[in-house]
Amino acid sequence: MLRVCLASGFLLAFLLQPLALYAQDDAQTLVRRYAPEAWQAQRIHRDVEVVTLGDGPSRAYVFIPQNPSPKAAPLVFFHHGWLGMNPKNFGGLIDLLVRRGAVVIFPVYQDGDDTPPQLVTTLAGQADAAALALLQTQRPGLVDTSKVLYLGFSMGASISLNLAIKPERFGLPEPRALLLIAPGDAHHVAKGPLARSILGPIEKLPAGLPTVMVSGYADTSIGVPTARSIAARLCHFPEQKRALLFFPSDSDEGVRIQAGHGSPGAPDSRYDFPDSRARVPAEIPGRREFETSPSLNLLDYYGYWRLATRLVDWVGGANYPAEIFDRSNPENRFLGIWPSGKPYAEALTEDHCQR
C-alpha cells in the first residue's frame, strides 16, 4: 500500500516520505508530472478550430489544433454518454487532448430520448465516418488513420466497443487502443424492449487491442458493475493488453471528491453547444487556466486525464504505456496529494480473468 507521512510546516517535497512500496522520489515525480501546471504546459497549440457537419443526431463536431497547425495528427473518436450531446461536460478533457496535438471527433448521435439505444452505435458510426471523410477530403494529411483511439464514456463506452468489433462496417479506421470510462448500457436509460443490451459480440475483439476500463468506485449502479461484466468477457486478452481500474471517493478538511458516475466530467463553457441544430463558434481561443469546477479535481489530473493522454501519446507513436496494464505498478494507485499534504486514497485494480 502507498503511504505518505505528514510533517507540519514542511513543503511538499518534504511531506512525501518513503514508506512501503513507494519511494519519496517516485511520488514527487508523479506530483510534478500530473499537477495542474504540468497539464497547462503541455498545451502547445494556442487555439482550437471547430468544424461542424450535420444536424441533430447526424451532427458531429471536429476539434482541430491550431497555432500551430499539426500534420499526421492522432485521431480520437470521443463517444459521449446518454443525453450528453453537448460537449461542454467533457470540454476540459477535449481541450487538453486537442491542444496537445490530437484531432477529436465528437458525434452527437442522439435526438434526446427520442433516439432508441439500439440505434446509437449506427448513428455514432455514421457521424464518425462522415466527419473523417470530410477531413480526408478537405484537410488531406491532417490526421493519420493508423493513430486512432476510441474513447467512450457511459453509453459511449458500449458504442466504442461495438465499433471496434468491425470498424470497416462504417468505413472507420481500426483503433489502436480503447479507453472505456464508466461504461453503461441500455438498461441504465430505458425500460422494456428498449432496455436490451446494445453490446455486440465483444468476445470477437482482437486480443491485441489494448483496452483500459476505468470507473469511479462510487458509481455502483452503472460504471462498476458494467465494467466488471465487460472485463469478464475480454479474458482472451493477455494481461498486458487489458486493465480495469476504480477510483475511490475521498475527503480532506471539509472538501469531498465523489467518485460517482459524473466524476470523469470536467466542464468547459467554451464548449457549450446545447443545440445540435444551431451554429457554433468556428474557433475556441486558448487560455492558460483550466475552468474552475467541482468536477475538475485530483481524479482528473492523476486519473482520467493520465490514462487518456498516455493512450493518445502511444497511438501517436510514443512508447507503450505498460504501467497502465501492470496491476502492481504504484502509478496506477497514486491519485495525488490534497493541499494539506495528505495523500488521496489509492485507486484499485481488479482482474476478472484469473486463470
Per-residue confidence (pLDDT) for residue 355, from 0 to 100 = 55
The model's pLDDT over 303-338, given as tens digits with 9 standing for 90+, comes to 999 999 999 999 999 999 999 999 989 999 999 999
Q: How many domains is the chain built from?
A: 1
Residue 340 lies in a domain: no
CATH number, domain containing residue 64: 3.40.50.1820
| Cα–Cα distance, 164 to 151 (Å, whole number) | 11
The model's pLDDT over 202-243, given as tens digits with 9 standing for 90+, comes to 999 999 999 999 999 999 999 999 999 999 999 999 999 999
| Cα–Cα distance, 160 to 155 (Å, whole number) | 9
Residue 23 lies in a domain: no
Closest CA to 230 of 196, 181, 163: 181
Average pLDDT, rounded, for the chain: 92
Residue 16 lies in a domain: no
Residue 30 lies in a domain: no
| Cα–Cα distance, 315 to 216 (Å, whole number) | 25
Task: For 74, list phi and psi in degrees, rounded to 5.
Answer: -65, 155
Describe the crossing of helices 305-315 and 91-99 by its angle, rounded to 10 degrees: 30
- Average pLDDT over every residue of 173-180: 98
User: Within 13 Å and on the Cβ side, how many CA atoms surround 349?
Assistant: 21
Residue 1 lies in a domain: no
The model's pLDDT over 55-107, given as tens digits with 9 standing for 90+, comes to 999 999 999 999 999 999 999 999 999 999 999 999 999 999 999 999 999 99
Query: What burial class does residue 8 get, using C-beta atoms within 10 Å of its C-beta: 0-12 exposed, 13-18 middle, 19+ buried?
Result: exposed
Residue 353 lies in a domain: no
Closest CA to 36 of 288, 346, 258: 288
Residue 247 lies in a domain: yes
Under the banding of pLDDT at 50, 70 and 90, the label for residue 15 is very low
Say whether pLDDT at 25 is over 90: no
Percent of the chain having pLDDT more than 90?
90
Per-residue confidence (pLDDT) for residue 232, from 0 to 100 = 96
Say whether pLDDT at 10 is over 70: no
Tell me: cis bond preceding 36? Omega within 30 of 0 counts.
no
Identify residue 293 by its one-letter amino acid code: S
Domain range for 180: 46-322
Identify residue 273 by its one-letter amino acid code: F
Say whether pLDDT at 118 is over 80: yes
Using DSSP bridges, classify how beta strands 73-79 and 103-107 pair: parallel, antiparallel or unpaired.
parallel
Per-residue confidence (pLDDT) for residue 28, from 0 to 100 = 84
| Cα–Cα distance, 189 to 201 (Å, whole number) | 21
Per-residue confidence (pLDDT) for residue 2, from 0 to 100 = 35
Indicate yes or no: pTM above 0.85.
yes
The model's pLDDT over 261-313, given as tens digits with 9 standing for 90+, comes to 999 999 999 999 999 999 999 999 999 999 999 899 999 999 999 999 999 99
Under the banding of pLDDT at 50, 70 and 90, the label for residue 352 is confident
Per-residue confidence (pLDDT) for residue 27, from 0 to 100 = 80
Residue 334 lies in a domain: no
